[in-house]
Each structure stands twice: as structure tokens, then as C-alpha cells.
Structure 1
């Protein structure tokens, strides 16, 4: 299974109507954006994910959210306390964290900007390689997604996540909707073009 890690930005806090635990959300992957990947042998190539790459996995897999790719640190399961969907930007997630010590620690670390990356683990089912004088390029076309992860190790700089609530009765941060639109506008020029 391959793992890819992304930068989390723009941590925010908003009300959680249940009053239990925190709600976090953002993008675990962004479409049509190249990033540099270094394999285990030290070779580098540019990689991007195309829209629709997660479609089949989202329909068929029971996907987990983990902390730091650790299967003993489960935060959520798709369709239980996590929603996952593709949109124009990428793979969007929202997690209603359970009221556990791990969740409380994680939401505090995220709110303070200490843990600020996101990752996913998937098997590559379909991809395309292009070898040019400017470098090697890999297009991920279909991914068998198994997990998304909150982690302190960055790789893809284009994704984001946020703490949307911590303890019930905290005010909504209205800046998130503005920032979300900025993210969509920034990356929409690459949608369906495959530009670098």
C-alpha cells in the first residue's frame, strides 16, 4: 500500500451541535496538482491525482481515519462518524471525533497548529507514466483507498484541514467559508487541464 501525505492549513474552530468531541474536516487529497514524490530508493518523480480516482473506493470500501497511519489509533469510519466525497477540489472529509483521549489530544494539537498535515493510504489500481527530458510524471487514475490519516509528516502542500469544533458553544469561525472559496478558486484553473 502506498501512502501520501499533505499539508493541513487554516485550522478553525466552530460549534459542534452534539457537544461531544471535536469536528475536523478538509481535503485529504487535491486533484490535478503535481507534487514531488521520492520513492524508497531515493528516485524522484512528479505525481498528480485526477478527479474520479477515489470514486469506486468511496462506493465500496469501509475506509478508516487514523492518527499517523497507526491502525491502533482509529479516529473514524466512513458512514459512521466520517463523510468522504470527491468535489471539484479533491477528496473532502469531515470527521465527528469520538469523545476519547486520543481525539481530545489531536484536536488540541491541531487547534494550536502543532499537528498540521493529512495523508492517505491506498493501493494504486490504475496509473499512467510519462517519461520526459524534464522528469518523470505519474498520473494516478484509480486508487483503492483504505485510510486517511492526520499526521505530523508533510508531503503534498496543496491540501487543508481544520478543527471545526472543540466543545459545544464555541462560535462559528466565519472566515472558513471565505478561505474555502479561496482554495477552490486557486486550484480550479487546473481542473480538467492536467497542467503543472
Structure 2
């Protein structure tokens, strides 16, 4: 099968103007039913792929016309940590980028997803008491995407209002300087 599979992810945070960050996958948490099976991403599943991730793009809703960033350009940063596949996207000053920032802040867009292929031996299937489970051990990552309809139910979104914090800090510093 040559068509990349797409899976939704977990936490998304906007930490400053023009930047979104979060998790495109969280290790050990099952997806929704994906058509007769659930999926779990194992820690380390992206490590091989991340060594040559320059081609990986960040998209809005898996739409290749809505590019948000690319690893090779430095506008998308990807890393595996103990929680999952972490990403940071420097949003472009385009209509899509600006609209998405608003949608994330409002909570209308609440997740992330990823498109991938599984190389030979990159997954394990097992039958459990709760049904069939596919565990992803090694994937070829093609994209991450920001979406309102993630496949993994543990998705959360938070937007930090750093400009407000910076203004408050600046005011506090000015106040302290006047107290000298």
C-alpha cells in the first residue's frame, strides 16, 4: 500500500504569536476505532524517520495547499520526547496561518494528526479483550497536520498568551525601577 496512512494526535498549544506547538502523537494511548481496530504508537516509532525529516511538512487538515511549515526550512521542528512526537510550527503570515491561530485560540481546532507509511516489520497486530490493536513500532513520517477531527481521543489544546505576560512583566519591571 503506497498511500500514506493518517492518524490524529494529541496535545496542541500555541505558545506565542505565530507559533503553535504540541504533540502529533502521544505514546501508549489508543486511537478511536479506525475501522475494526485501534492503534497505539510505541515510544521510538519516529526516531529513525526523524533522522532524515527535512521533507516533513506541517499542513492544515492534510491539505497540501495549506502548508504551515517544513522541517527542512526550519519552520517546523520535530522531536521525540518521553511523551510523544513533539512539534513546533512557526505559522506563516498567510490567511491560513492567521485563521488557524484564531481557531486554535478559540478551541475550534483541537488536535493534530500525522501521515505515515509503515516499513516492513514496523507494526505488530494483536487481539486483545477490547479488540484488535495495531502497535506502531517504526514509521516513515510524511507530514503532521493540525485538525479539528483527531483520531486520538486524548487530544488537548492550550494557547498561551505570551504577549500579555511580556506586557505585565515590562510593567512590573518599570514599577520596580521607579521604586529604586
Structures share fold, TM-score greater than 0.5 = yes
Give 1:53's aligned residue: 45
Residue 27 of structure 2 is aligned to residue 31 of structure 1: yes
Q: Distance in 2 between matches of 1:155 and 1:86?
A: 20
Q: Distance in 2 between matches of 1:52 and 1:108?
A: 33
Q: TM-score, normalised by structure 1?
A: 0.73
1:155 is displaced (CA, Å) by: 1.7
Q: Distance in 1 between matches of 2:23 and 2:10?
A: 10
Q: Deviations over 1:52-80 (max 9, x none)?
A: 10111111131100000000110000141
1:96 is displaced (CA, Å) by: 1.1
Q: Deviations over 1:133-174 (max 9, x none)?
A: 542111110110000001111320224454456xx84326xx
The SS at the match of 2:151 is: coil
Structure 1 stretches lacking a partner, 5+ long: 17-21, 173-196
Give 2:65's aligned residue: 72
Structure 2 stretches lacking a partner, 5+ long: 167-180
Indicate if the aligned counterparts of 1:27 and 1:160 stay in contact, CA closer than 8 A.
no
Higher helix proportion: 2
Q: Rg larger in 1 or in 2?
A: 2
Q: 1:134 and 1:161, CA in 2 relative to 1: closer, same or farther beyond 3 A?
A: closer
Give 1:99's aligned residue: 93
- Number of paired residues? 159
Give 1:124's aligned residue: 118
Q: 1:112 and 1:149, CA in 2 relative to 1: closer, same or farther beyond 3 A?
A: same
Residue 154 of structure 2 is aligned to residue 158 of structure 1: yes
Greater relative contact order, per chain length (Cα 8 Å cut-off, separation 6+) = 1
Give 1:84's aligned residue: 78
1:13 is displaced (CA, Å) by: 5.0
